[in-house]
Structures are given as C-alpha cells and as structure tokens.
Amino acid sequence: MNLVIDVGNTSIKLGIFDDNLIIHKETLRPQNFLGIIKRIKKDYSLIKRGILSSVSNMDEENVAVVKDLFNTLILDHTVKMPFTNLYATPTTLGVDRLALVAGAVHQFPERDVLIIDAGTCITYDFKNKQEEYLGGAISPGLTLRYTSLNNFTSKLPLLNLEFPKNHIGDTTNQAIHSGVVNGVLYEIDGAIDEYCNTYPDLTVILTGGDAHFLSKRLKNSIFATSNFLLEGLNHILAFNNSQ
C-alpha cells in the first residue's frame, strides 16, 4: 500500500492506494494533519511507502513526522519522472503540475493530452504522444476571480460561486456571476479549441475542486475526474520504486 499526500493552497488531500486502486481518500485542514497521519499509520499498517507533494509551505514538523512514520518520497524537480520535461524553467514548475502530467502518461500513454486543473488557479498542462511535457498556462480560478473583484474595487461585493441566470447580467451580482463563471468557461473552451487546431486527436482531462461545477457547462468533450492528481503522485512513486 502507498500513502499519497497532496498539500494544496487551501487544503490537504490524502489517498491510500493498493497498487493502482485508491481505497481511501480524505480532505483535511493543516491543523488536523498530524492527528490524522498518526491514525492512518495505526489503521493501515500495510502502508509501506509514501509520497508528499506540496505547493505551499508545509510545517517542517509535519514533514518530519511523515518521513519518520513512512518511507516517504518528497516530490521536487529532482525526482525522476515518467516523461521528458521540456519546460524551460523546470525548477519553477509546480510539483502539482508534474503529478498531473505523470497521471496523463500513466492513464493515456502515447496520446496528446491536455490536463486542466480548476482549483485556486486554473492550470493547463500538455504532454504529447512522445511523452514530452511542453508546458501550458496558469490563470486565476473561480474563487480567486470573485475575491479579486471585491479586493481591488471599492464597491463590488464578495459573492459565493453561483451559475449566472443569463449571460447578460441585469444586476451587479448577476453581472459578476456572468463575468466570472462565463469568463472561465469561455477561457477553457477557447483553450481547448486552440490546442485542437494543432492536435486534433486531443484528450482533455478536467480535474480540481471546481471540475464538477464546470464540467457539465463546457461545450467541448472532456474527462472529468477528482482523483487525477493523487493518481499521478501514486504513479510517480511506483515509477521511482521500479528504477
């Protein structure tokens, strides 16, 4: 069994894998991390290895405990990947994006794949049929766009995510919902169309916290999955253990 830990900007996701099958998953806040890790050690004694990916500054004590309890691989740009990384600045590439590409290599080998992760930020990552990672794009996510409108203006309210009633907003609230939600949908569909112009057999993966909200409203055909990043981390761990 493997323990997979994804430390994001707002929460921590844990997954326990039996080979390639995820058998347990949970999302937690950083302040609950140590207690839950110790419980997992007790409840899942067959866990032999772990991998930890963090895009935020995780407390060093927490990292030390994980390494002490499990044989843990800390993901960074020096870890071997199951693909060729052609990113011009590999040391600045987020480890979460590495994991997403690894998941694409594992689940869709020898195919052109665009992975869209809709979370705090929306990231676009592309790997080709030759298993080469070329790069992608980063833009603000839904919540970040709502928050920015409130933070950087004097009168616009902070709203919760809501699908607009019409693309023409007839109130300020509806105008914000239309601008934020439809803006993201237009962006994603436009990005997919642009990639398809060059890669007509493109496979598109949509994942992340806002994937479910967005998936049914996109005009392009996609695969929506909530576990893709965890599965990618598990594949990186398996790949490194096989070297």
pLDDT tens per residue, range 147-185: 999 999 999 999 999 999 999 999 999 999 999 999 999
105 and 212 within one domain: yes
149 and 225 within one domain: yes
Do the beta carbons of residue 32 and residue 15 sit within 8 Å?
A: no
Q: Which residues are annotated as a binding site for substrate?
A: 87, 94-97, 172
Domain annotation covers residue 190: yes
Q: In one letter, which amino acid is 52? A: L
97 and 54 within one domain: no
100 and 58 within one domain: no
Domain annotation covers residue 137: yes
What pLDDT is recorded for position 91?
94
Of the residues 43, 59, 96, 193, which is catalytic? 96
Choose the final residue of a domain: 74, 105, 134: 74
Question: Is residue 96 among the annotated active site residues?
Answer: yes
Give CA–CA dist 171/107, Å, rounded: 44
88 and 41 within one domain: no
158 and 59 within one domain: no
186 and 110 within one domain: yes
Residue-wise pLDDT tens for the chain (243 aa)?
999 999 987 789 999 999 999 999 999 988 889 999 999 999 999 999 999 999 877 888 888 999 999 999 999 999 999 999 999 999 999 999 999 999 999 999 999 999 999 999 999 999 999 999 999 999 999 999 999 999 999 999 999 999 999 999 999 999 999 999 999 999 999 999 999 999 999 999 999 999 999 999 999 989 999 899 999 999 999 999 987
Q: Which residues are annotated as a binding site for ATP?
A: 6-13, 120
What pLDDT is recorded for position 193?
97
88 and 70 within one domain: no
Domain span at residue 58 reads 2-74
Nearest Cα to Cα of residue 205 among 190, 221, 182:
221
Residue 17 sits in a domain of what CATH number? 3.30.420.40
Q: Which residues are annotated as a binding site for K(+)?
A: 117
What pLDDT is recorded for position 165?
93
- The number of distinct structural domains making up the chain is 2
165 and 46 within one domain: no
Long-range (24+ apart) CB contacts under 8 A made by 109-113 are 111/201, 111/203, 112/199, 112/201, 112/202, 112/203, 113/202, 113/203, 113/204, 113/205
Domain annotation covers residue 243: no
β pairing state of 49-54 and 71-74: parallel
Choose the final residue of a domain: 54, 74, 94: 74
Q: Which residues are annotated as a binding site?
A: 6-13, 87, 94-97, 117, 120, 172
226 and 129 within one domain: yes
Give CA–CA dist 12/16, Å, rounded: 14
Do the beta carbons of residue 181 and residue 163 sit within 8 Å?
A: yes
Domain annotation covers residue 220: yes
3-state secondary structure the chain: CEEEEEECCCCEEEEEEECCEEEEEEEECHHHHHHHHHHHHHHCCCCCEEEEEECCCCCHHHHHHHHHHCEEEECCCCCCCCCEECCCCHHHCCHHHHHHHHHHHHHCCCCCEEEEEECCEEEEEEECCCCEEEEEEEEECHHHHHHHHHHCCCCCCCCCCCCCCCCCCCCHHHHHHHHHHHHHHHHHHHHHHHHHHHCCCCEEEEECCCHHHHHCCCCCCCEECCCHHHHHHHHHHHHHHCC
What pLDDT is recorded for position 15?
96
- Which sign does the torsion angle of CA 35, 37, 40, 42 carry? negative
62 and 39 within one domain: yes
Domain annotation covers residue 91: yes
99 and 54 within one domain: no
Domain annotation covers residue 127: yes
Choose the final residue of a domain: 74, 98, 121: 74
